[in-house]
Amino acid sequence: MFHLAWRNLLQSRIQFFLGVGGVAMALLLMLSLDALLAGSEQDLVAYIYQSGADIFVAQEGVRNLHMAASAISVQDMRRAARVEGVASASPILYTTGVVETDEADVLSYIIGFDPREPLGGPRTVVVGTARLKRGEAIIDNAVARSQGVELGDEIEILGETFTVVGLTEGLTNIINSVTFIHIDDFRALRRGDAISYALLAVEPGYDPTEVAAAIEARNEDVTALPREVFAREERQIIKDMSVEVIYIMNLAGLLIGLAVTALTLYTSTLRKRQEYGVLKAMGAQNRHLYTVVAVQAFLSLMMGAAVAIGLVWLMGLVLPQVVPGTAMALTQAGVVRVLTAALGIGVVAALVPAWQMARLDPAQVFRS
């Protein structure tokens, strides 16, 4: 049956390319929107993962970064650092602000960190240095490219002028970017001794969840969250506020893609009605007809999926160069979800005309 389905599929090259191409374009729509959503979610929490922290300690009730205001004392951080299992504790100051360049204003997370501390600063500086001095700043490479900023240029942050001395990678997303300044500069701008968050590293062999619970048990004025929980809270608040439109687009794209897939496979089967009539005239049973149709639909979907995945992968390489701050990430869960839905509706759509033809006399098929 596989051999027969393959030969039937390749009988007409034009129909073959139209069928597989239609499926590929439908899958491309679904996979590209899913990859765009996944890439956006990864970028939104990129700093949380790149900071190197296992636990984030914040003001009581604060569970994320976006649109949040947190203030804890240095003593709170030191009490957290004394909990068993904590290897180090690093302070950061944080606010959401605007980075003013000669080209435009860019919304950004402003992070004040201490270059002498192990956590809080940029993990990777692709150009320049991470050893900040007073009056210096590090911005993301995507912002630098889009705004025409180079090392040594001046930008304005929170009303003060800073010199760009380093460029990071992967810290710009569809909402904002991340900009780093020296913690002493931030303190001078804020005029206070409080810190925003304490970033903790946990010693090997200790569970961050248990260590975080112990921190909260010792100090009711703070909230301590493991990195995964903190990232989940960040994703959720941004989804609720800003990225809902992408979910609507993704759902609409999925429904459109499934409809196009179903229509393509339905018409592909319908065009082969005379071939299936010959099979029936030769004594083929209905189950053989259904098997050939299902295998043909499966082959069309798999070849279309291979083309679509290749195109999405290529788009993921090109898109960030064309549109800085936009990323695409193919995930195993996303590919499985799209292919499962497409396979289910595609095979059903292909079997509908086969079921109709199975109920007809072969002579009726030839006459029509």
Determine the pLDDT at residue 112. Answer: 95
Name, in order, each residue with C-beta under 8 angstroms of 207's C-beta and a sequence gap of 6 or more: none
| Distance of alpha carbon 225 from alpha carbon 333, whole angstroms | 26
Determine the pLDDT at residue 56. Answer: 97
Determine the pLDDT at residue 363. Answer: 55
Paired with 225 in beta bridges are: 56
pLDDT tens profile 129-185: 988 999 999 999 989 988 899 999 999 998 899 999 999 988 887 778 899 999 999
Q: How confident is the model at residue 122 (pLDDT cuts 50, 70, 90)?
A: very high
Q: How confident is the model at residue 286 (pLDDT cuts 50, 70, 90)?
A: low
Residue 219 reports pLDDT greater than 90? yes
Give me 214's structure tokens.
């112990």
Instruction: From residue 346, give the alpha-carbon distance in Å to each of 257, 267, 302, 351.
Output: 11, 11, 11, 9
pLDDT above 70: percentage of residues in the chain: 80
pLDDT above 90: percentage of residues in the chain: 38
Angle, nearest 10°, between helix axes 74-81 and 208-218?
130
| Distance of alpha carbon 360 from alpha carbon 368, whole angstroms | 11
Judge contact between 334 and 30, C-beta under 8 A: no
Q: How confident is the model at residue 284 (pLDDT cuts 50, 70, 90)?
A: low
Q: How confident is the model at residue 270 (pLDDT cuts 50, 70, 90)?
A: low
Determine the pLDDT at residue 73. Answer: 94
Site of tokens 């292909």 = 350
Q: How confident is the model at residue 118 (pLDDT cuts 50, 70, 90)?
A: very high
**Which secondary-structure segment (H or E) carries 93?**
strand 86-100
Strand duo 86-100 + 177-182: pairing: unpaired
Q: Phi/psi at 67 (nearest 5 deg)?
A: 60, 30
Site of tokens 């596989």 = 2
Q: How confident is the model at residue 13 (pLDDT cuts 50, 70, 90)?
A: low
At residue 340, the 3 state secondary structure works out as helix
Which region among 264-268, 299-303, 335-339, 354-358 has the lowest average model confidence (pLDDT)?
354-358
In whole angstroms, how large is the CA radius of gyration of the chain?
28
For the chain, what is the mean pLDDT? 82
Residue 273 reports pLDDT greater than 80? no
* DSSP-assigned letter for residue 203: P
Determine the pLDDT at residue 102. Answer: 86
Paired with 90 in beta bridges are: 199
Could you tell me the residue ranges of all domains in the chain?
2-44+244-367, 73-220
Judge contact between 99 and 259, C-beta under 8 A: no
| Distance of alpha carbon 131 from alpha carbon 129, whole angstroms | 6
Instruction: From residue 24, give the alpha-carbon distance in Å to each of 27, 249, 264, 318, 330.
Output: 5, 19, 10, 19, 16
Judge contact between 199 and 171, C-beta under 8 A: no
Residue 126 reports pLDDT greater than 60? yes
| Distance of alpha carbon 277 from alpha carbon 275, whole angstroms | 5
Give me 257's structure tokens.
């893609």
* DSSP-assigned letter for residue 72: B
Determine the pLDDT at residue 321. Answer: 74
Determine the pLDDT at residue 9. Answer: 55
Name, in order, each residue with C-beta under 8 angstroms of 42's C-beta and a sequence gap of 6 or more: 327, 329
pLDDT tens profile 26-81: 888 888 877 877 777 777 788 999 999 999 999 999 998 887 889 999 999 999 99
